[in-house]
Amino acid sequence: MLNVLIADDHAIVRTGLKQFLESTGKYQISAEAKTGAETLALVRRKVCDILMLDISLPDLNGLEVLKRIKRERPELPVLIFSMFAEDELAISALNGGAAGYLCKDSPPDQILAALRTVATGSRYVSPGLAEKLLEGSIPAGRKQPHETLSPREMEVLVLLSRGTPLMRIGELLHVSVKTVSTYRSRILEKLQMDSNAELTRYVVEHKLD
């Protein structure tokens, strides 16, 4: 029996999935999470064999959660389970390391097929998405601006968005103020912005903190 972690901020979705999956006798819901932070904490505790992850979480964007999980546990299969149509986010999710992408209105047999596939270490793509990819009707996923940042630049970005002074950032990251200033300049350039206020707005809009 495989242990599944469900990360979704809607209790009705978690309850419905739990009842459905456990009724098959092949899956056990080992844990549930309502936020990105809860998801990351549970993943670090290694409570699951598969993660079903919603993109719309209240604190962190699901794609950012995926990115962090892949840095810490690259072997964990993450199945994105979202209300957004495949055309909108599937390619970005798959490029980000997701093992598969499912819409929440997918039929039960498709959900089970996806779980069986990702459990074996393979990637799952729905028949509809596979057809669109073959036809070339879905463009290759474009990276979000912050996805071009290095892990250290991401750390500096988040700290800047909190209003942390450069000297304090240097102390926290054990680097000089001059180095922090260099990181800040690179971040502004990559995100095509001019001020810390714009960086803060970007972090809030993309739920990166």
The mean pLDDT value of the chain amounts to 88
Is residue 185 scored above 80 in pLDDT?
A: yes
Q: Is residue 23 part of a domain?
A: yes
How confident is residue 139, by pLDDT bands cut at 50, 70 and 90?
A: low
The three-point CA angle 56-40-20 to 5° equals 60
Q: Please give, one letter per residue, the 3-state secondary structure of 90-141.
A: HHHHHHCCCCEEEECCCCHHHHHHHHHHHHCCCCECCHHHHHHHHHCCCCCC
Domain residues for the domain of 196 are 145-205
**Entry pTM:** 0.66
The reported pLDDT for the residue numbered 151 is: 78
For residues 198 and 192, what is the distance between their CA atoms, to the nearest angstrom? 10
Domain at 10, CATH number: 3.40.50.2300
Local structure of residue 206 (DSSP, 8 states): T
For residues 103 and 206, what is the distance between their CA atoms, to the nearest angstrom? 21
Considering only CA atoms, which of 58, 51, 28, 31 is closest in space to residue 98?
A: 51
Average pLDDT over residues 74-87: 85
Considering only CA atoms, which of 13, 70, 1 is closest in space to residue 40?
A: 70
Query: Is 13 in the same domain as 65?
Result: yes
Domain at 179, CATH number: 1.10.10.10
The reported pLDDT for the residue numbered 22 is: 95
Is residue 199 scored above 70 in pLDDT?
A: yes
